[in-house]
């Protein structure tokens, strides 16, 4: 009788251990390959779902927005990206979506923000006066931090609008600090062969001086 009890206990412990290992593996796999802790990769959202998120989000209200949108974070991130890049939504809705993506610190698809860096931007003569109200996408990129740096450096190299160069340099300096930003642009210039691209990098460097 005692032997049967011991065997039953051992079987139960073995079963529990196997389940635990399986769940732990799923969590680790999800952290490595996913964004956040959700298991599903949502690539499709209905028009109704997208509209529902668009109605909830508000410009310059990121904390409230995050509470309202929780807990379907993974699918919501996809929808926010959809709103951010869809020009049929109002500028304020698109900016609100981008601000949330910044708060959520997306580590991929950062190009959505970088490609819309001028959205909501109000020209200022003094860069010290830039803030979340007159440069909302730039400050969303600052929230994301280092993952945005590479994309912004590329934006400087390919910039067709001279106004874009100091803005990208400004964001990189806020992410990395001015000295590190100078080093990044100096290093990029040393490695660059194309004279026009090198001139753009020099403009970014001049802005930081």
What is the pLDDT, as a whole number, of residue 54? 85
193-207 tens-digit pLDDT: 999 999 999 999 999
Cα–Cα dist 111/141, whole Å? 10
Strands of 27-96, DSSP E: none
Supply the pLDDT for residue 134.
Answer: 93
Rounded Cα gap, residues 30 and 24, in angstroms:
10
Query: Which residues 6+ apart lie within 8 Å of 171 measured at CB?
Result: 117, 138, 141, 142, 148, 152
Mean pLDDT over residues 57-71, rounded?
65
In this prediction, residue 69 has a pLDDT band, given cuts at 50, 70 and 90, of low
* pTM given for the model: 0.67
Q: What is the pLDDT of residues 87-98, one digit of tens each?
A: 999 999 999 999
pLDDT number for residue 24: 40
pLDDT, residue 71, reads 54
């Amino acid at each position: 009788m005692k032997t049967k009890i011991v065997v039953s206990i051992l079987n139960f412990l073995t079963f529990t251990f196997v389940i635990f290992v399986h769940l732990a593996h799923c969590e680790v796999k999800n952290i490595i390959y996913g964004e956040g802790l959700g298991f599903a990769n949502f690539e499709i959202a209905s028009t109704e779902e997208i509209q529902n998120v668009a109605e909830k989000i508000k410009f310059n209200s990121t904390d409230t927005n995050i509470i309202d949108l929780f807990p379907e974070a993974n699918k919501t991130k996809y929808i926010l990206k959809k709103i951010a890049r869809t020009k049929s939504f109002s500028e304020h809705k698109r900016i609100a979506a981008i601000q949330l993506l910044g708060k959520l610190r997306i580590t991929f698809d950062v190009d959505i923000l970088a490609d819309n860096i001028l959205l909501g931007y109000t020209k200022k003569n003094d860069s010290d006066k830039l803030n979340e109200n007159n440069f909302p996408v730039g400050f969303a990129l600052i929230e994301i931090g280092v993952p945005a740096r590479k994309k912004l450096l590329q934006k400087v190299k390919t910039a067709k609008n001279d106004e874009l160069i100091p803005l990208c340099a400004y964001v990189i300096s806020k992410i990395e600090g001015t000295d590190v930003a100078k080093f990044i642009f100096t290093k990029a210039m040393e490695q660059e062969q194309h004279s026009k691209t090198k001139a753009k990098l020099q403009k970014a460097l001049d802005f930081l001086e």
